[in-house]
Amino acid sequence: MLTETQETAHGAVETVEAGQLSFDPGETIVNHLLDHGSFEITHDINPPLPQFEPLFNGMLDLSITKHVVMMWLAAGLILLIGWLAARRRNDAVPSGLRNAIEVVIRFIRDDVARKSIAGADAERYVPYLISTFFFILACNLLGLVPGMATATGNISVTAGLALMAFVTIQFAGIRNYGLFKHLANLVPHGLPMWMVPLMFALELLSMFIKPFALCIRLFANMMAGHVVILAFVSLIFILGDVFSAGAAWASSPVAVGFALFVHFLELLVSAVQAYIFTMLTATFIGMSAHPAH
């Protein structure tokens, strides 16, 4: 005969298998991660965004979505902070916001651009690298604000950033050597002739794999953090449905505690992922502008 505990556990399994939960954690998590045509702040506050008819047989959709708005907010926030910092540009000794921004800019210039891209070429790409870092960081941090969304958790956004990186990387090589010499630089010098076609094919494939890796790395890391946070919070409602309200209340301190821990950890992850994307982009630019032979 089953004990009372075994019967409770058996009933919980049957409830889950029958799909009788009033709270669907999968739908909640997916709904949070996906892009929407409305800006859902709460269940009651969900203003719609402008939607337009797709062009070219559905190939181009210029509708405004939540992630588009988040990118606009990130860009606006960067412009606002830059303007506030620039107001003190004539001060002999930088302080406050200007000092903090200058520390980051100098770090990107000295420790990322100049160490990854040799010569005078480094200065040429510093503005792009700084813009990339601050934009990704702003998108990542805004996604941690309740009611907001993480634009960099959308693979279309990270693909756009990776495409810009790809164009910049190829531009660096073509500008220094021309198109044909840039392609020739893909193959290290001194190889036997029979290896040249194989190495060229592999390096040509690597040219596209590098930005693809940038895209997937940023997307996966930012999405994963939000999935973990939502999963911990969802446990409260799942236990309330399967067992009782008492189980939900009993589990809430642990679930919320772990969710808050991951949430604060995401603050660090947001900065680290912005740095990694920028640093790898600078490294690839340096490899393209100054290939090793």
* Nearest in space to 277 (alpha carbons), one of 182, 181, 160: 160
d(CA 293, CA 278): 25
Q: In degrees rounded to 5, what are phi and psi of residue 291?
A: -65, 145
pLDDT at 162 over 90: yes
- Average pLDDT score over residue span 108-132: 90
Residues 195 and 204: their CA atoms lie apart, in Å, by 14
28-32, 142-146, 211-215, 233-237 — most confident range: 211-215
DSSP label at 59? T
Judged against a pLDDT cut of 50, whether residue 99 lies above it is answered with: yes
Residue-wise pLDDT for 190-238, tens only, equals 777 888 888 888 888 988 999 999 999 999 999 988 888 888 888 877 7
Taking the complete model, does pTM exceed 0.75, yes or no? yes
- The DSSP string of 147-213 is T---GGGSHHHHHHHHHHHHHHHHHHHHHHH-HHHHHHTTSPTT--GGGHHHHHHHHHHHHHHHHHH
Higher pLDDT, 163 or 87: 163
CA distance 136 to 134: 6
48's CB contacts (< 8 A; 6+ apart) are 37, 38
Predicted pLDDT at 93 = 72
